[in-house]
Each structure stands twice: as C-alpha cells, then as structure tokens.
C-alpha cells in the first residue's frame, strides 16, 4: 500500500477540475483497506472514498485521504432457474458490469448501461435511468465503518433508497466505505420498456419484441447521441436533480405555464424535469468564462476551459437563481461538492 501525498485529482474527476488531495491511496484487498483506514485514523485525517469521480465537483483542495478501491470481482453466490445472486466488488466499473451480466444471461441491468462510475458508488444516489433504479436489484450493501473499521451488511430496507437518494447521503454520509454490493438479477428476460425515449429508440431501430440485448443497444445508442462524452466535453452528467413538487404547487405552475411537463410519483407528488426549467430560462448553450451549459442538454454543465470548480458553481448558482425567480422552484445540485466550506 502506497500513500501518495499532495496528489492531483485532475485525472480522477470527469469535470477535469484541478484539486489536490492531502493524501491518496489505492487499495485492492481487505487488509490494504484496513491499513489505509488505520493510517488515516493515526494521521487524524478524514477519508473520502472516490470511484470514477463522475458525480463530484472538486471546488478546492481536499483535506482528506482519498481512497480508491481497485478490486473488480464479480462472484456468483447462487444460480437458480429464475434468478441469480451476485456479489460485486466496489471497484468494478458499472458499465462493464452491465455488459458482463448480459454476457452471462443475467438480466435486469440493461436500462442502466453506459452510466459512468463504479459499483461502490452506485448505491450512493441509487443510480437510475430509462425507467429503472438500482434499488430494484439490491439485496445487501457491504461497507466498512470508517471510524471503527467494523464491517456492516445493510439490507435493502436499511439503505433507505429513494429518488437519487439513500442513507449514504443521509445518516451514513461520510461514515462508511462501500466495499461490495449484492444484486439479485433475473435468469429470464423481462425488459422494462415503460420509458418513452427508450420505446421511441426501439421503434426507430425497428425492433419488435425487444430482448435485453436490444434494450442495452438502444440505451447505449440514445445515450451516445444525447449526452456529451466527458472525455471530450468534461461534465458530471445531470448537474441538478429533477425537483419533485406537491400537487397544489404543480397546479399553480401549470396555470401559468400550460406546457409544463410533469411526471406523477408514487407518493402523489409530481416530478418536473430540471432540464425543461433551465431551457425555459434561456440558459441552454450559454457560456460564462471557461464553463457553460451544453447546447444539446440543458441539465449538463460543461467545463470547457476552467481549472477551478468555483467558476462552475457560480454558473450553477446563477442558473438556480433564474429558475427560482421564474418558477419559484429551488434547484438542488446532484453531484457532491468537495473542497469548499459549505460542501
């Protein structure tokens, strides 16, 4: 185990923001993880688990031991007629897992293809896309308590999953390192086709009776067209969460804006696409210095030529203020911000 001091995180976040970690370590085994946590405790340093850095805004230097897990195992725990139980290590690349499970005839994850990042980060915001969220498949999340080094096995219920939310953003925020996730997938194809953009893509591709492989391909194709590649235009995906409002507020908004798109939630509230709100305030395609709003997707902020997260957060604040003024809705940033006081 090698502890690197004052290590640059520039190549470790998809927004390509410059930030130095006080220390950084890559671990590939449980004993190495234990040593790393012991070291941080002895140094009095906080621990920041980092995956692919696709959902973080580094707005300054990080005064912590940044911990990167390299273990990328997929273990079959139980293989039955209808279903298969898997244990996947935190360091496994998410999209590679989607591809790998399909290759084995393990179905369910196809709608979540091409989401950047690691398996260990997937439960943090309960990743979701095209009508599916991770929690549908989670059985157990394995983690280590950063303060004590104790191991935890959290059931799905204990994970408190919600829309882009979990206990890891709440009570357990900054408390644990997720080391593995147990998933239950299906041995029988049962594609989830409810999401309109996915249906349209399958129709355009003239796919009748879509199979999981077709869904995977359609998701990969539509995402590749619609979303900027962070390797070319550095970004963190959706910069704001879609706000969810109560019915009376939605009705008032609809009277003022009859074209307002809304999607009913299980709890009776309505989800409003943040991209629509931002588009309406005229921000799509706008630039401010080295940062801007992608011309093809109003929810994606792009770092064109900035090294500092501060410029990006100023732009985010301006956008949120416009939306607040026009619609009375407070937008919330989706990625986790590090390196500034209110992070």
Tokens 């004052």 sit on residue: 6
User: For 144-297, where are the alpha helices, taking DSSP H only?
Assistant: 196-204, 212-226, 247-256, 274-280
Closest alpha carbon to 33 in 178, 183, 182, 181:
178
Distance, in Å, from the CA atom of 271 to the CA atom of 273, rounded to the nearest integer, reads: 7
172 contacts: CB under 8 Å, gap ≥ 6 = 143
Minimum CB separation of residue 242 from ligand NAP in Å reads 5
Q: Rule CB under 6 A: say whether 227 interacts with ligand NAP.
A: yes
Tell me, residue by residue from 248 to 277, as one string, x for binding to ligand NAP by CB under 6 A and - for no binding.
---------------x-------x-x-x--
Active-site positions? Answer: 164, 238, 334
Do the Cβ atoms of 27 and 36 come closer than 8 Å?
Answer: yes
Partner whose footprint covers residue 89, from ligand FAD, ligand NAP, none (CB < 5 to 8 Å by kind) = none
Told to check if 13 binds ligand NAP by CB under 6 A, we report: no
In the numeric block, the tokens 């070319």 are attached to 232
Note whether 170 binds ligand NAP by CB under 6 A. Answer: no
Residue 48 binds: one of ligand FAD, ligand NAP, none (C-beta under 5 to 8 A by kind): ligand FAD
Q: Which residue is nearest to ligand FAD (CB)?
A: 51
Asked if 39 interacts with ligand NAP (CB under 6 A), we say: no
- The span from the first CA to the last CA of the chain, in angstroms, equals 29
- Judged by beta carbon distances under 5 to 8 A according to partner kind, the member of ligand FAD, ligand NAP, none in contact with residue 226 is ligand NAP
Among 197, 207, 310, 333, binds ligand NAP (CB under 6 A): 197
Applying the rule CB under 6 A, the residues between 273 and 332 that interact with ligand NAP are 273, 275, 299
Phi-psi region of 239 (alpha: psi -120 to 50; beta: other; left: phi over 0): alpha
What kind and span of H or E run contains 155? strand 151-155
Which among ligand FAD, ligand NAP, none contacts residue 195 (Cβ within 5 to 8 A by kind)? ligand NAP
CA dist 147 and 35 (Å) reads 13
Extract the tokens encoding 156: 């799905």
Residue 235 interface partner, choices ligand NAP, ligand FAD, none, CB cut-off 5-8 Å depending on type: ligand FAD
Q: Which residues bind ligand NAP (CB under 6 A)?
A: 128-130, 195-197, 226-227, 237-238, 242, 263, 271, 273, 275, 299, 334
């Amino acid at each position: 185990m090698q502890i690197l001091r004052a290590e640059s995180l520039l190549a470790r976040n998809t927004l390509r923001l410059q930030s130095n970690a006080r220390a950084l370590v890559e671990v590939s085994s449980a004993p190495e993880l234990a040593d790393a946590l012991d070291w941080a405790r002895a140094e009095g340093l906080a621990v920041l688990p980092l995956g692919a850095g696709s959902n973080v805004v580094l707005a300054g230097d990080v005064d912590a031991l940044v911990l990167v897990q390299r273990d990328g195992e997929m273990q079959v725990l139980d293989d039955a007629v209808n279903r298969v139980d898997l244990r996947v290590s935190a360091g496994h690349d998410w999209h590679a897992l989607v591809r790998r499970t399909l290759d084995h005839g393990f179905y369910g994850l196809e709608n979540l293809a091409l989401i950047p990042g690691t398996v260990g980060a997937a439960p943090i915001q309960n990743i979701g896309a095209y009508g599916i969220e991770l929690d549908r498949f989670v059985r157990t999340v394995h983690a280590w308590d950063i303060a004590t080094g104790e191991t935890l096995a959290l059931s799905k219920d204990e994970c408190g999953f919600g829309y882009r939310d979990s206990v890891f953003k709440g009570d357990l925020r900054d408390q644990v390192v997720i080391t593995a996730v147990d998933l239950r997938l299906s041995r029988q194809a049962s594609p989830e086709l409810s999401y309109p953009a996915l249906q349209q893509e399958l129709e355009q591709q003239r796919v009748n009776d879509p199979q999981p492989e077709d869904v995977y391909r359609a998701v990969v194709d539509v995402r590749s067209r619609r979303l900027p590649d962070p390797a070319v235009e550095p970004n963190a995906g959706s910069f704001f969460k879609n706000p969810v409002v109560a019915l009376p507020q939605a009705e008032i908004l609809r009277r003022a804006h009859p074209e307002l798109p809304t999607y009913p939630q299980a709890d009776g509230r309505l989800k409003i696409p943040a991209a629509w709100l931002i588009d309406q305030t005229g921000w799509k395609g706008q630039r401010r210095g080295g940062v801007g709003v992608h011309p093809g997707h109003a929810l994606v902020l792009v770092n064109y030529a900035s090294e500092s997260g501060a410029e990006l957060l100023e732009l985010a604040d301006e956008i949120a203020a416009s939306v607040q003024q026009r619609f009375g809705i407070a937008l919330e940033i989706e990625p986790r911000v590090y390196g500034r006081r209110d992070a």
